[in-house]
Structure 1
Amino acid sequence: MGFFEAPEQAQDIWVHAVSVGELLAAEPIIRELQSRYPEKKITITTMTPTSSALLDKLFGDSVFHVYAPYDFPLFVRAFLKRIRPSFVIIMETELWPNMIHGARALGCPVVLANARLSERSAKGYRRLLPMVSWLFESLQLVLCQHQPDAQRFATLGISAEKIGVTGSVKFDIDVDSSVAESGARLRENVPDDTTIWIAASTHEGEDAKVLSVHRQLKQHFPSLTLILVPRHPERFESAYDQASEAGFQTSRFSSSPLIGAKDDVYVLDAMGQLMRFYAASDLVFIGGSLAEVGGHNPIEPGALGKAMLIGPHYFNFQMICQEFMDSGALQTVADENELFEALRSLIECPDIARAKGEKAYAVVE
C-alpha cells in the first residue's frame, strides 16, 4: 500500500513492471542500467506473487523490490517518500494517474518504455481526453514498440518530440544453449517418434478447448503428448483435474519432473520453467488467444525455432505477431476446430513444421 521498511539509501531509478510479461520486457533495460550506471540504486515494483518470484530469480538482492502501492494519493505519497526516486520507468501500458502525478510533483521524469497502445484503448482514452490529457502531458518520453503505437499515442496529445519507436525490447532475447539441452533432457523418456505439442499460458475456458482438440488428435496420432501450461498458478490444480477427469494419462511437473513415455497430458504446474518446455516441444500453441485476453509473447518459442499457432485474439501483441505471420512462422486459427486442423497438418508434415520454425528463428535473430 506504500507502507514498508524503507531502503537505507534513496533509490535513483524506479522501474514499475506489473506482471511477469512486463518484468521480462524490463529485464534487458534493467541489466543495461546496471551495466552503465553501477552506482545507481534501482527499485522495481511488481503486483503479483509470480512476478515477485521471477524478480528474485533474475536479480536477487541487486535491486530493491517492493509491491506497488495502491493508486491512491495517500499510498503513493508514502511510497515516494520512502524510496525517493529521481527517475521513473513504467513498462508498457500501466498509466496510473496518482503514480504519475506523484512522481511529476517531485520533479521525477516519467518514461513509458516498451509502450504499446491498441486501437481499442486509444479510442477509450480519446473519449476521456478532456479529463486525462494532463496524464499524457506528464510523460517525459514514450518509447513505443511500433510505429502504429506511436501514431496512437500522438492522437492523445503527446508532442512528437516526446515519442520514439524503439521496437519491442522483448526481441532482446538471448537463449542460452543450455535451454535446448534441458529441453532434450525433459523428453529423454519419450520415444523419438512421439510428437509433443504445448499449449502455453492458457486462460480460463481454454483448457477445455485444448483438451478437446487433443482428444481428436489422439485418434489420429495415438502417441501424441500435450504439455498444458496454465498462465496463473491458481489454475494449476484445475487444469490437472480437467485432464485427469477427461480420461487422459496425466502427470505434472511438481511430482514428475520429466515427461513420461506414456503421458497423454503433462501439466506444467510451476513458474519460470516455460522456456525449457518450449524447447522440449515440437509445436506451440500460444494461449490467451482463444479467450479474448489478447494473446501472449510469441518471441520466446520463436527464438527456439518452433512452429507456432495462435487464436484470433492477439491484440496485445498485434505488431509482433504480424512480423511472425508475415514470415510464415505463426499461423492464426479462428477456433478449436481450426486449431485441430492446423495441428493435424503440421504433425503429418514435419518438414513444413521445421521450415516454419526456421522462419520463426530468423525473425528473432
Structure 2
Amino acid sequence: MPRRLYSLILYLATPLILLRLFWRARKQAAYREHLGERFGFYPALAQALTQAKTPPGRKPLIWLHAVSVGETRAAEPLLHALSERWPDHQILITGMTPTGRETAHQLYGERVLQAYLPYDFPDAVARFFRHFQPRFGVLMETEIWPNLLAAAADRSIPIALANARLSERSARGYQRFSALSSPAFAQLSAVAAQTAADAERLRSLGAKAVTVCGNLKFDVRPQASLLTLGATWREERQKRPAWLAASTREGEEALLLDAWQKKPSAALLILVPRHPQRFSEIAQLLRARGLNWRARSAGLPTPETQVWLGDSMGEMAAYYTCADLAFIGGSLLPLGGQNLIEAAACACPVLLGPHTFNFLQASEDAIAAGCARRVQDADAVLQTVEELFADASTLTRMRERSLAFAAAHQGASERTLALLQEISAPAPDQARH
C-alpha cells in the first residue's frame, strides 16, 4: 500500500517533474535531450544492443547506475574491474544528469552503453528492465528507488548498492518513511558500505547483506595527463603561491571573496565551482567586484591575475596538482561537503569547513592523518592559507601525508567485486540445469 501511494504521488507530480527539467534546461540545454529515456523509452539504443548480438542472442549485460559526476568518477575502478572479470558482457551505465553523462563519455567513450535511468514510475522501470535485461545491477552510493528495486526483485535480477554511504541526517529521513523505504532496502542482494557506521545505519533501515568494503574513491587514480597538465600550470606561475577553492557551492564563493578582499593576498586564488551551469554566474560575481580575473577557457593566469576561474570539466586533478593547498567546497555552508580523496591522491593538502556530514569518515580520517585541517568560517580559511604559506615545512609534510593517506585506504574495488561475483553466481539448482 505505501508503494502504491508513492507511485500515485509520482504520477500526479509528472507535470512538476517536466517543468523542473525544462527549468534546469534554461541554464543547461542538455536537460531537454533524451527525454524519452527518463520515462523508459530507449529507441536510440536499440541499434547498439542489436550490434552487440552474439549467437544465439545478444551479449549478457551488466548495469551500473551513477547518478551524477561524483558517482560516475567513483565508479571508474569498479567498472574497469567488472570489464576484466566479465569481458564477454556489455556494460550499461545510467545516470540522471547531463554532466554525469558527459563525464561517463569522457572516461569510457564507446566502451559502454549510456542512458538515463527512468524516473521511478512502475511502467517506466518495467520498460527499462524489458529493454536491457541486465544480469545484475549496481547502484552507486545511496540510490534507493522503491519501484525499481521491486521490479528487479520480481524479475530475480540481483541488485547491489556499492560504495554505500548514509549520513545520520539521511538515515533519519528514510526512517520517517520506513513503511516505504525498509522493503526497498531489504530487496538489495548485497550492500558494500564505505564505513562501519554507514553499515550500521543501513542495517537499521532494513538492508540485510551488508559488508564494509571501504570507499571506491580511494581506488580512482588521477590521469597521468592531468597530473602533467597541473605540473605545467604550476611551473607557469613561477613560484607564486596558489590555493584552490574546489567544488564550491552556491553562496560559498561570495563568503570566500569577502574574506579575501578584507585582507588581500599576493597568492593566486583558483576558483572552481562544483556545477558548470554556475560558471557564468561566478564570472559575473568576479566582474562585479572589480577583480583582476581570468577564465581557464581564456588561457593561463598572468602575474596580475588575482582569481583564475576554473570553467572547465574533467580537470580537477590538474587544478589540485597546480595548487599548494585546497579548500573543499560544500563544507562552508551546511551542504555536507565534497570529495577530498582526489585532492589527497594529487598530494594536495586540504582545508575543510564545519559541514562534512556527507564525507564524515573520510574527513575525520584525513584530519587524523595530518593531511587536512578543519576551519570554522571563511575568515579562518584565509587565515589558515596565509599561515601555511608562511610555513613551508608544514605544508610539505601535509603533501607527503596526503599521498600516504590515499594509498592506505585503497582496495575497495576488489572487495566490492568479490560481493558482485557472489550475487551474480547462479543458484545451485540453476547451475545443475
TM-score range, shorter chain: over 0.9
Q: Which residue of 1 aligns with 2:273?
A: 230
User: Is contact 1:87–1:109 with CA below 8 Å preserved after alignment?
Assistant: yes
Count of aligned residue pairs for this structure pair: 358
Q: Which residue of 2 aligns with 1:143?
A: 192
1:250 and 2:293 aligned: yes
Offset, 1:217:
4.3
1:215 and 2:265 aligned: no
Q: Which residue of 2 aligns with 1:331?
A: 373
RMSD: 1.5
Offset, 1:11:
5.0
- Evaluate the alpha carbon distance shift between residue 177 and residue 52 of structure 1 in structure 2; reply closer, same or farther with a 3 A threshold: closer
1:186 and 2:233 aligned: yes
One of 292, 300, 305 as aligned partner of 2:334: 292
Q: Which residue of 1 aligns with 2:416?
A: none
Q: Which residue of 1 aligns with 2:244?
A: 198
User: Is contact 1:195–1:347 with CA below 8 Å preserved after alignment?
Assistant: yes
Q: Which residue of 1 aligns with 2:143?
A: 94
- Evaluate the alpha carbon distance shift between residue 178 and residue 132 of structure 1 in structure 2; reply closer, same or farther with a 3 A threshold: closer
User: Is contact 1:191–1:261 with CA below 8 Å preserved after alignment?
Assistant: no
User: Is contact 2:76–2:220 with CA below 8 Å preserved after alignment?
Assistant: no
Offset, 1:196:
0.5
1:152 and 2:195 aligned: no
Offset, 1:291:
2.1
Offset, 1:262:
1.6
CA distance in 1, matches of 2:154, 2:73: 29
Alignment of 1:1-365 (within 5 A): 1=38, 2-5=40-43, 6=46, 7-8=49-50, 9=58, 12-159=61-208, 162-192=209-239, 194-218=240-264, 221=265, 223-256=266-299, 258-365=300-407
Identity of aligned residues (%): 38
CA distance in 1, matches of 2:309, 2:89: 41
Unpaired runs of at least 5, structure 1: none
CA distance in 2, matches of 1:323, 1:208: 29
CA distance in 2, matches of 1:235, 1:22: 20
User: Is contact 2:73–2:220 with CA below 8 Å preserved after alignment?
Assistant: no
- Evaluate the alpha carbon distance shift between residue 16 and residue 72 of structure 1 in structure 2; reply closer, same or farther with a 3 A threshold: same
Which protein is bigger by CA-based radius of gyration? Answer: 2
User: Is contact 1:10–1:83 with CA below 8 Å preserved after alignment?
Assistant: no
Deviations 1:11-43 (A, max 9, x none): 521101001111111111110010111101111
CA distance in 1, matches of 2:376, 2:282: 23
The answer to which structure has the higher helix fraction is 2
Offset, 1:59:
0.8
Offset, 1:229:
0.5
What is the SS of the residue equivalent to 1:226? strand
Unpaired runs of at least 5, structure 2: 1-37, 51-57, 408-433
Question: After TM superposition, what 4+ stretches of structure 1 lie above 4 angstroms from structure 2?
Answer: none
What is the SS of the residue equivalent to 1:184? helix
CA distance in 1, matches of 2:298, 2:346: 26
TM-score by length of 2: 0.80
What is the SS of the residue equivalent to 1:197? strand
CA distance in 1, matches of 2:119, 2:302: 44
CA distance in 1, matches of 2:198, 2:155: 28
What is the SS of the residue equivalent to 1:254? helix
What is the SS of the residue equivalent to 1:44? strand
Deviations 1:90-127 (A, max 9, x none): 00001111211121111100100000111112222223
User: Is contact 2:335–2:355 with CA below 8 Å preserved after alignment?
Assistant: yes
What is the SS of the residue equivalent to 1:228? strand
Offset, 1:58:
0.9
User: Is contact 1:189–1:260 with CA below 8 Å preserved after alignment?
Assistant: no
User: Is contact 2:138–2:162 with CA below 8 Å preserved after alignment?
Assistant: yes
